[in-house]
Each structure stands twice: as structure tokens, then as C-alpha cells.
Amino acid sequence: MPAYSKERKLVAIAVILIVDVVTWVREKKIEVPTLEAWVEEIADPMMEGNYNVVQMQTLTLVALQCVKDDKDARPTMSQVVEILQGDHDIP
């Protein structure tokens, strides 16, 4: 299997997991005043705060973009990869 195929599958799995988390949080209607506080609410407690807050915020914002109702407003998989690598801004 070509390396890019494996990488694309891993990115797709990661996006699915992120979308699942964001969808769950949306359904639970967790109300927090800031993105940083929201990230703290959805971060796995087993991480014990050992994560980069800015990266988690980026991950959360990308996930929110991926679940927009308007499919044309969602980022492409290439854009998601570029955003997560820091090569592209969040739309």
C-alpha cells in the first residue's frame, strides 16, 4: 500500500474521531465562555492537562469546520491536513 494512502486513512480516522467528539459536545450543549475553557471540557481527563492548548484549539476549530451544515463551507481533506500541519489557516 502506498504511504500516502496510509497517511490519508489515518487523517480520515482522526477527523472522524474529532467530529465525533465535537458532535457529542454539541449534543450535550456544554456552555462555557471561551474556546480555551471549551477545549478543557472536551479534553480527555487522562491527559491530565498535558497537551498544547493552542493545538487543541486548532483541532477543535477544524472539527467544527468539518461538521458545518453547508458542505461547500467545509474544508477539504487536503486543507484539514495543511491546517493541522500549520501550513494553512482555518477558513
What pLDDT, in 10s, does the model give residues 31-56? 656 777 777 777 888 888 888 888 88
Check residue 20 and give its pLDDT: 81
Query: In sequence order, what are the residues at sequence separation of 6 or more whose Cβ sits closer than 8 angstroms to the Cβ of residue 15?
Result: 62, 63, 66, 77, 80
**What are 77's three cell numbers?**
481533506
70, pLDDT greater than 60: yes
Q: How far apart are CA 27 and CA 38, in angstroms?
A: 14
Contact 74/65 with Cβ under 8 angstroms? yes
pLDDT band at 72 (very low <50, low <70, confident <90, very high): very high
- What pLDDT is recorded for position 49? 83
What does the domain layout of the chain look like in residue ranges? 3-85
In three-state secondary structure terms, 56 is helix
Task: Please tell me the predicted confidence (pLDDT) of residue 16.
Answer: 83
Sign of CA dihedral 59, 65, 71, 76: negative
What pLDDT is stored for residue 60 in this prediction? 81
91 pLDDT band, cuts 50/70/90, is low
Predicted TM-score (pTM) of the model is 0.61
